[in-house]
Amino acid sequence: MAWNPISRRRKRRGVSQVVSTVILFSTLLVIIGVAIFYATSLIDANRQQMEYQAAKDLMLYAATALEQVSFGTGGSRYIRFSLTSTGLNFIPDAYGPLTVTVNGTTVISDAETSSIEAVGGPLVTTMFKCLRPPVEEPTAARNEVYKLVVGAGEPMVVVYENFTQGRAVVVMKPTRVRVNYLGTFEILEGGVTKTYNFYAISYINMSFAQVGGAGQIAVVFRNVNVTTSEIKIPSPGIGVTVSLGPSSQTLSLVGNPAADGSVVIVRVADIVVSTG
């Protein structure tokens, strides 16, 4: 059989077309796979971010509900969380013991200070922020988060978010003590009218009952008791020191400096948190 160069070139051209088709098809499959992977990751990241944002909004609402249950309307409140990628942590002893002293006398002692955390999914990122009360400047925000003594009109439950251990976390902690001046009142003692400055100290003691679950979780805050006590101090001013673990802060108040003494009313709300 005679050698035909044209036929050899056609066979080579045919083989090259097959190889090119295989390469193009493989490249197209790789491109489609990469596109599907990134599209799925983007969708999952958006879903996790939306669920984390919803949990953050609910934590802010839960902080308001906790204060209302403690010293407002009483009774109970519940907040329903929808958890798929986001989780809830109930930490019974997050910060150690808390003590409150007035002019050297202990008026409040809480052996365990608790907190609730909403942990975002692995694709959620954030940075340190003080959400309640809202503070933008970083240094001021950190000082606000770790403040232990607050006055009238300031929230007792602080909410902040942070990125720790590779996860975005929203923390709600009722570790603040509210101290405010109520006014000056006259009291009849032994037939003698005396003037006293009245002060109020309030604290939320949050503890946990049965907690757990997955999916749709209802977090319930129940006011089980409010303890009220009072102490008399011979001086017109008071010095309130709040100690939480290794941290300590002091606030001094003087209402009417001409008063004969002071009466300090101490209120502690016992709140039990459960799921269901």
pLDDT at residue number 23:
67
Helix%, strand%, coil% for the chain, nearest 5: 25, 45, 25
Cα(104)–Cα(247) distance, integer angstroms: 17
Of 5-9, 88-92, 110-114, 271-275, give the lowest mean pLDDT range.
Answer: 5-9
Name the phi and psi angles at 5, rounded to 5. -65, -30
The answer, yes or no, to whether residue 84 has pLDDT greater than 90, is no
The answer, yes or no, to whether residue 3 has pLDDT greater than 70, is no
Of 32-41, 97-106, 125-134, give the lowest mean pLDDT range.
Answer: 32-41
Alpha-carbon distances, residue 159 vs 72, 124, 178, 193, 275 (angstroms): 19, 18, 16, 45, 20
The answer, yes or no, to whether residue 15 has pLDDT greater than 70, is no
pLDDT tens for residues 183-237? Answer: 999 988 888 999 999 999 999 999 999 887 777 889 999 999 999 999 999 999 9
In this prediction, residues 162-171 reach a mean pLDDT of 93
In this prediction, residues 17-34 reach a mean pLDDT of 62
pLDDT at residue number 28:
61
Contacts of 273 (CB under 8 A, 6+ apart): 90, 114, 116, 206, 207, 208, 209, 211, 219, 220, 221, 222
The helix (run of H) or strand (run of E) holding residue 84 is none
The answer, yes or no, to whether residue 127 has pLDDT greater than 60, is yes
In this prediction, residues 155-165 reach a mean pLDDT of 95
pTM listed for this prediction: 0.82
Confidence of residue 12 (pLDDT cuts 50, 70, 90): low
